[in-house]
Structure 1
Amino acid sequence: MRITAIETTRLQTQPNLLWVEIETEAGIVGLGETFRGAEAVETYIHSMAAPLILGQSALDIERLHKILLRGYLGFNGSGVETRAASAIDIALWDILGQVTGQPIYQLLGGACHERMRAYNTCAGVDYNSKSIQRRLVQPGDAKVRHRYDDQIAFIESPGELAQSLVEEGFGAMKIWPFDGAAAASDGQYVSAQAMRQGLEVFEKIRLAVGDRIEVMCEFHSMWNVTSALSIARELKQYRPFWAEDPLKMDSPGALADYRRLAQIPVCGSETLAAQGAFRDHLAAHALDYVMLDLSWCGGITEARKIASLADAYQKPIAPHDCTGPVVLMASLHLGLASPNAIFQEVVRAFLSTFYKDLVTELPVLENGYLLRPDKPGLGTSLAPGVKRDPAASTRRSTAA
């Protein structure tokens, strides 16, 4: 089944997202997605990736994966080349599912889970806008505007936020109340006042809902080892489920030291790409939970290998989503087929707003769990309104 065309689409309203559609001579179209640096990835796809795969069989997924991800350019990084390869790989799996009439999780060996537990990342609708890539909310900066303004809520009213999540059936939430302090000192020093402000968020959550919800703490790789350990020693009393990316994820040894001394489970990392980086962190005993982003690590093909590697080390996985709806759907398929998957990240602010306008189907969230999709392939397509948007930018490459 020959690949005849590759088309990419971007929207001004979601400038970090890029959708990739791969067309075949049989008329089947596969959908992929990646995130951040959308224009650069788009350029790479059409200038470098398209000539390598146009005219090739869309069903030779492993071979094309090797060409795009294990080739000379961009090897072992999470930059433009890997993000392009990831989006293309997701689209190829979507094609395979449609050809066989099976959901992707069936092609990965079948479902290990009847449903997948979700946790809510407490971001707001504008969290990943181009002008505000990460809102560093400080106490008193703003007020909650609506029910899903979760990034402001976890600072201004964390107890009420936790209660609302429990009422919706969520068993876990993720917050990052120390990011503002990290930005102020470039991650080199945490003051007593900043420490207290961050800890109060956890204290209010525990007072409001007790242990009815797990609380993950995201650090966005913003701290040095000394400061990260200072926070961990104080944070431990509130029983965080994990500390995510407490350091830059480029030193497995330093992270292993942190894990040993902090005595808080460590999660990492959406920022890592390909098996090698995860192998090094697992071999160094630096991780308790393995988080991977399918649009940054190499797509479904590479993600299933990382998941198996984690399983060999008896570590659970929790795929990342704070990006786009296609990656969320692909991640759900991977999680359902992975015996060591324990959580799928979701952002209820995204699910309840703009995700609905981008694709035809979304995962069904019910009482804190994502249900198994039953349609072939990913089970979703790009919404017709996306390309009809006057501000949509599309680019197309075709086989000779």
Structure 2
Amino acid sequence: MKIEAIETLRLDDHPNLLWVRVRTDEGLTGLGETYFGAGRCEADIHDRIAPILLGQDASRIEFLNMKMQPYTGFTGSGAEVRALAAVDVALWDLAGKAAGRPLCDLLGGRTRESIQVYNTCAGPNYVSKTSAVRPDNFGTASGAAGSPAGSPAGSPAGRQTHEDLEAFLHHPEELAASLMEMGIFSMKIWPLDLAAGAADGMDISTADLKKGVAPFEKIRAAHGDKMRLKAELHGLWSLNAAKKIAAALEPLDMDWIEDPVWMDRTREVAELARATRAPLAGGETLASLGQFEALINDGNIGTPILDVVWAGGVTAARKVAALAEARSRPISFHDCSGPVTLAVSTHLALSLRNVREQEIARGFYYAWYQDFVDQLPPIKNGMITVPDGPGLGMDLVPGLETRADATYRISKT
């Protein structure tokens, strides 16, 4: 099964997303994806990776992953590693299609048939125009980037939308109730990103701290302990500020506090872990095995988080999951990016024993995710499983490359 072509596709309407298709001489095609820096990843795939892969046996995934490892940029989730990750996912999709089996069944089989989800409370236009994770790119109705609330970019009129970021800022208890009606009892929000101190992260005022904690308090007051609460801090804060925030959140019985400081500063992560009773999670912006080993062993992180399409693909994700399991830690797979990311993460979540939940963003899932693939991982009563079919169980809908806003490239033998 020789690789004869590598295709990439990105759309101006969703400029952060890049899809990759690896075609073989046997007529099979594998699908991959990455997110952020789409143009840079595209260039790396065609300029550096394609000459390595064309003519190679697509089934030699570990070997090809090794060959794709860059000399520079290998320690983080830069463009080179994200490009590698997208191709690695496509190779695993190919392996499943060649075997006629779902990917999770190739990864040791299923430890469960479905897994519970937690909702990252983003709206459909969250971080949709650039890679900047900051309030002016949150895609809210109050002047941020993206389409107006209720009309996600590229989505058909009349489709139900979930403006969950607006909801957690203005009526978080109602948001929690709507999630529980869908069988979802775990949610993540980030109101502290809007604090004035988040601009440099050095400190947070008492007033901003109270305002940022208020949405969590409102959910607890309305629903008690029915909802598991996660706080996302996006690595914005200094260690001293993070300690203040953790102390304020502790009485609310947090499920975890995510990325309170930069996750490569493992001494700071470890010091914060010693200073708070609240569990810590994070790591989605890391990539190398060494970084995750340090985060788990030196940083004493409670739940390492890995983004499959940022951190080296399925090949890397399985190894990091083993590192976590060796220290009796769960691992969590990030999804606030694209439909292929959710699918491959769900396959991993079903196959690995140390995954507790799979992240979703229902604001994406029920809006534009379904515009680009022929089927999504089904969600029912707060549980997600993999689509029917071999490999990932999904393909891009036909004709995307002919759109007026499409950039399509192909490298072939």
**What's the TM-score, normalizing by structure 1?**
0.96
Describe how 1:14-93 pairs up with structure 2 within 5 A. 14-69=14-69, 71-93=70-92
User: Which region of structure 1 is more displaced relative to structure 2, 271-280 or 369-378?
Assistant: 369-378
The corresponding residue for 2:255 is 241
* From 378, 382, 392, the counterpart of 1:368: 382
Equivalenced residues, count: 398
Matches of 2:311 and 2:130, distance apart in 1: 25
The corresponding residue for 1:251 is 265
Contact 2:85 2:311 in 1 (8 A): yes
> For each residue in 1:220-267, what CA deviation from the matched residue of structure 2 results, as whole angstroms up to 9, or x when unmatched?
000000000001111111111001000011211110000110221010
Matches of 2:15 and 2:130, distance apart in 1: 10
Describe how 1:126-137 pairs up with structure 2 within 5 A. 126-131=125-130, 133-136=132-135
Matches of 2:80 and 2:268, distance apart in 1: 28
1:74 shift after superposition: 2.3
The corresponding residue for 1:347 is 361
Contact 2:36 2:130 in 1 (8 A): no
1:231 to 1:35, Cα distance in 2 relative to 1, 3 A: same
1:43 aligns to what SS in structure 2?
Answer: helix
Describe how 1:87-126 pairs up with structure 2 within 5 A. 87-126=86-125
Matches of 1:65 and 1:243, distance apart in 2: 33
1:373 shift after superposition: 3.1
1:183 shift after superposition: 5.5
2:306 aligns to what SS in structure 1?
Answer: coil
The corresponding residue for 2:155 is none
Matches of 1:398 and 1:179, distance apart in 2: 45
1:132 shift after superposition: 7.8
1:322 aligns with 2:322: no
1:141 shift after superposition: 4.9
1:208 shift after superposition: 1.8
Letter in 2 for 1:121: T
2:124 aligns to what SS in structure 1?
Answer: coil
Matches of 1:317 and 1:184, distance apart in 2: 27
Matches of 2:161 and 2:280, distance apart in 1: 30
Contact 1:118 1:370 in 2 (8 A): yes
Matches of 1:98 and 1:5, distance apart in 2: 17
The corresponding residue for 2:157 is none
Matches of 2:266 and 2:73, distance apart in 1: 21
1:391 shift after superposition: 1.2
Letter in 2 for 1:189: D
The corresponding residue for 2:154 is none
1:189 shift after superposition: 1.2
Contact 2:243 2:275 in 1 (8 A): yes
1:147 shift after superposition: 5.2
1:294 aligns to what SS in structure 2?
Answer: coil
Matches of 2:131 and 2:171, distance apart in 1: 22
* From 168, 171, 176, the counterpart of 1:154: 168
1:250 aligns to what SS in structure 2?
Answer: coil
* From 394, 408, 413, the counterpart of 1:380: 394
Letter in 1 for 2:98: V
Contact 2:305 2:334 in 1 (8 A): yes
Letter in 1 for 2:2: R
The corresponding residue for 2:13 is 13
The corresponding residue for 2:153 is none
| Percentage of matched positions with identical amino acids | 43
> For each residue in 1:15-58, what CA deviation from the matched residue of structure 2 results, as whole angstroms up to 9, or x when unmatched?
00000000000010000000000000001110111001111010
Matches of 1:23 and 1:305, distance apart in 2: 26
* From 178, 183, 187, the counterpart of 1:164: 178
Contact 1:125 1:353 in 2 (8 A): yes
> For each residue in 1:80-108, what CA deviation from the matched residue of structure 2 results, as whole angstroms up to 9, or x when unmatched?
11001000000000000000011111111
Cα RMSD, aligned residues only: 1.8
Contact 2:283 2:306 in 1 (8 A): yes
Contact 1:219 1:244 in 2 (8 A): yes
Contact 2:123 2:162 in 1 (8 A): yes
Gaps of 5+ in 2: 151-159
Matches of 1:340 and 1:182, distance apart in 2: 37
Contact 2:187 2:230 in 1 (8 A): yes
> For each residue in 1:108-152, what CA deviation from the matched residue of structure 2 results, as whole angstroms up to 9, or x when unmatched?
100011211100000011102115843528999589757510011
1:141 to 1:387, Cα distance in 2 relative to 1, 3 A: closer
The corresponding residue for 1:187 is 201
Contact 1:34 1:327 in 2 (8 A): yes
Matches of 2:228 and 2:74, distance apart in 1: 37
